[in-house]
Amino acid sequence: MKVEALLGLLNAEKILFDIEGFEKFMHQKNLAAVQKSFTGYLFLLECVERKIIGLMKESDYLDLNSDIVWNRACWVGLNIEKIPTTCDLALVTKNIYFKYKKLWEAGHANSFEILKRRIASVKKINRIIFATIKKNFVPNSSKHMKWEELLEIETKYFVFIYLNDISKSGGIPNAYLNSILQHRLPKVFMEKSLFGYKCGLAYIWSVLRKNPNNKISEHILSANSWTELDHCFNLIRNQIICPLEAKKKISFVWENNYKKIKKINSTEFSKLKTTLKKPTLTKEELLNQHLLWYETSPLYPERVFNGVNAFTLLLTGTVTEYWSQHNFKPRVIRFTHPEKYGGNKYSYAILLESSGIATDYSGWILFYSCATDFSGFGGNEHRLAEQKIQEFKDKIILTEIKISEKELLNSLDVIPEDYKTFDGKGRAKEVLMKLKDLENQQTADTGNLLELLTVFCLMHGGFKIQKWSNELKKKTQHLSQMDLLAEKDGINYLIECQNTIPMHSSQCKKMIEEINSKKNCLKKLYSTRIVTANCLPEIKSEFEKSGIEVVRIFDLLEGIPIGTDKKKQIIKRLKNTAGYRQIKYLICPKNQ
C-alpha cells in the first residue's frame, strides 16, 4: 500500500505547488484576502511532505538499501537530524527532509511570493520520485485502469485518509504525525492555521472533483473548527470512497493496485544523494548509537564465573547459533576504560537478538569491568577474552569504544544490584516470576489479537472468511495450525498471522517450508500471505522469492477509514495487550 499512498500524496503536493491555481480558486469562491490563508496553506503543504518523508523512511519497494542503524533509529523515533547517514535510504530521506525544511521555514516570511520561489527548488524531489515510480510500476492488470485514472483515485483516497482525518484529542491532521520529525503545534498556531488549511484542502478536492463548487469543498469551507473539519471525514467516505470501491472493484487496504515490473536502479535517486554533514552528537548520544538504542543489562564481576568466563562462553554460543547455523555475524562491543595512572580496564557486551509481534526484545548483555591489561588475574582475564575475540574475528562485528567506567554507567542509567532486592526473603524473585507469567499470557493474547485485526481488515476489504469444513480439517490435520482462509473474486488466500518473523534470512527456510506445505495441501489456494507487525526488507524479500507476500498489520490498519484516534487505540492495544477481548469495542463500536 505504501507505493499507492506515496503516489497519492506526491500528486496532492503537486496540486498545492500550483499557487496561481489556488489564488484563482479563492477568488472564485469570494473568500477573504488570499494572504490570510498563508499560514494554514503552508501548514497543509508541510503535512503532506511530512507524510511523504514517513512513507520514504520504510520504502523497501524503492530498492534503496537500508541498514540496522537506520531501521533502529526509525523504530525508536530518533530525531531525523540526529540519525547518521549510514545507508542510501537514510541519505535520500534526509536530503528530502532538509530541502523540505527550507520550504517550511518560509512561514517566517509570510509571503506567497517567497513560497513560490522555494517551491521551485523543491519540485525536483516530486519529479524524481514520481518519475522513478512511473518507470518501474504499472497499474495491476486486474484493475483495467490507465495510470492517470488510478492515480486520481489513489489521490482521493489518501487525501481523505491523511488530510481529512483530524485527531479529536489534539486537532492534528493524520499526515502531520511522524515519529522521526519534531512536533511543534501550539494552540495559537493551530487556531491561526485553520482558515488556510481548510481553503487549501477544499482547493485539492476542487481539482480532484474537477469542479470548484463541489459539495465536498463547500462542506470543508464551512468548518469553523478543527472538530467540524473532521466531520467531513464520514461525508467523504460515504459519498466518494465507498462508491469508488464498489464501482471500480478496488481495495485500498489489502490489494496491491500497482505491479512492480523491474528492480529500481540506484542511480535513479543520484540527485537526492548529496553528501550531508555528520550530525553533532553528545557522548551519550554517540554511545546510544553504537548500542543501536537497545537496552543494556549489566553483569558485575562479583564472582569469577560471571566475568570473562561467562563472556567467552556466551560469545562461543552466540557465534555457534548465529554464524554456524544462520551465517549471521553477532555484534560485540569492547569498552576500554583508561585509568588515571596508566593502563586500562575493560568491559564487553554482546547483542542478543529477539523480536515479537510489535516489539523488539533484543538487548545487550554487558560484562562490566571484568578485565584489565595490568599484570595478575585481571590481565589474564583480558588475555582470555581477547583470544576468544581473535578466534572469532571473521564471524563477529566488533566495535571498540573508549569511555570511562563512570561515564558508561551514567549513560546506561544502570540500577545497582543492591536496589533489586526487596527484603532479602526472595520476594523480588517471586514478583519477577509473576511478571514473567503475565508477559507470557500477554504474548498469547497478542497472537489472538493479530488474527482478530487481520479478520477485520480482510472483511473491510471485501474478503469472505471461509469456515473450516470437515474435509479441510482431515486434509490438514497432519500440519501445524492454519490461521485463516479467505476468498475474494474467486481467488482463495491462506493467511498466516505470525507474532515473530525471523530476523535473519537463513532462519526463513523452515517457516517457508511449513507455509508451502500448507499451501500445497490445499490445492485450490493460489496466494499465500503472512500478516505480521514488522519485517526487515531483506527478510521480506526471502519470503517473496518463495511466492509468499509479507503484509504489515500497521499498513493494513492505516488504510482503513476509521479515524486516527481509533487507529491509535488499536495500535496502542496491539503493542501493549492485556487481553485481546478488549479490542472488540475498538473494532465494532456500537455507534457504527
Residue showing cell 525544511:
101
pLDDT, one tens digit per residue, over 328-337 is: 889 999 999 9
List alpha helices for 299-426, DSSP H.
308-319, 325-326, 377-391, 405-412
Q: How confident is the model at residue 341 (pLDDT cuts 50, 70, 90)?
A: confident
Half-sphere exposure of 528 (CA within 13 A, CB side): 23
Closest CA to 517 of 494, 489, 534, 533: 494
End-to-end CA distance of the chain, in Å? 25
- Whole-angstrom Cα distance, residue 467 to residue 415? 52
> What pLDDT was estimated at residue 135?
92
Residue showing cell 593502563:
343
pTM for the complete prediction?
0.76
- Whole-angstrom Cα distance, residue 154 to residue 174? 17
Per-domain residue ranges of the chain: 2-262, 283-420, 430-587
- Whole-angstrom Cα distance, residue 76 to residue 88? 19
Residue 51: Cβ within 10 Å count: 26
Lowest mean pLDDT, pick from 123-137, 350-364, 576-590? 576-590
> Is 423 a residue whose pLDDT tops 50?
no
| 175, 55 Cβ separation under 8 angstroms | no
Contacts of 514 (CB under 8 A, 6+ apart): 479, 480
CATH of range 430-587; options 3.40.190.10, 3.30.200.210, 3.40.640.10, 3.40.1350.10 = 3.40.1350.10
- Whole-angstrom Cα distance, residue 492 to residue 523? 10
pLDDT, one tens digit per residue, over 70-112 is: 999 998 889 999 999 999 999 999 999 999 999 999 888 888 8
Q: Which three cell numbers stand for residue 490?
A: 474467486
Task: Collapse the DSSP code of 576 into the 3-class scheme (helix H, G, I; strand E, B; otherwise coil) and give the result.
Answer: coil
- Whole-angstrom Cα distance, residue 296 to residue 34? 55
| 254, 556 Cβ separation under 8 angstroms | yes
Handedness of CA 351, 550, 555, 177 (dihedral sign): positive
pLDDT, one tens digit per residue, over 230-277 is: 999 989 999 999 898 888 888 776 678 888 888 888 888 989 998 889
* Most confident segment among 35-49, 51-65, 492-506: 35-49
- Whole-angstrom Cα distance, residue 228 to residue 249? 31
More confident residue, 182 or 236: 236
> In the beta sheet, which residues pair with residue 397?
331
Closest CA to 163 of 122, 208, 125, 201: 201
> What pLDDT was estimated at residue 156?
94
Half-sphere exposure of 31 (CA within 13 A, CB side): 25
| 315, 351 Cβ separation under 8 angstroms | no
- Whole-angstrom Cα distance, residue 110 to residue 36? 9
Specify whether the backbone of 91 is left (phi greater than 0), alpha (psi in -120 to 50) or beta.
Answer: alpha
- Whole-angstrom Cα distance, residue 554 to residue 551? 9
Q: Which three cell numbers stand for residue 290?
A: 553504537
